[in-house]
Amino acid sequence: MTASAAPTLPEWLTELDPIITPGELAAKWKVDPKTVTRWANSGRIKSFRTGGGHRRFNKEDVIQFYLKSQDSRGDDIGVYPPVSPVPLGGARPR
C-alpha cells in the first residue's frame, strides 16, 4: 500500500494575499459574500475582525477550509469549491 500524495492546491489558492476579505473569498468560490459570513458564523472557517469590525480570513485558514472540502467532497462544508468554470445553460440530460 502506498501513502497518498499531498493534495495539490489550485493556483488561485496559492496566489491569495495573506489576509482575505469575505468578498474576495466569495468571488473565488462563486458564492454570495453572505454565504462566506454564514460559514464563518457557523465555525466552518476561521475568521477574525479588524479594529474597525470588518471580518477577514487568514490564507492558512482558507487553505484548511479548501482541504476539508476536498476530503469530504462538499459534505462537511456544504459547498463544492471551484475546480473549473461551468458553462451556464445548454442541454440537460434526459
What are the extents of the domains in the chain?
A: 11-72
CATH ID of 11-72, from 1.10.1660.10, 2.40.37.20, 3.40.470.10, 3.20.10.10: 1.10.1660.10
Q: Which residue reads 479594529 in cell numbers?
A: 51
Mean of pLDDT over the chain? 78
Predicted local distance difference test score (pLDDT) of residue 52: 96
Q: What is the DSSP letter of 78?
A: T
pTM of the complete model beyond 0.95? no
Predicted local distance difference test score (pLDDT) of residue 85: 47
Residue 74 has pLDDT above 50, yes or no: no
Residue 87 has pLDDT above 60, yes or no: no
Residue 83 has pLDDT above 50, yes or no: no
Q: Which amino acid does the sequence have at 69? A: S
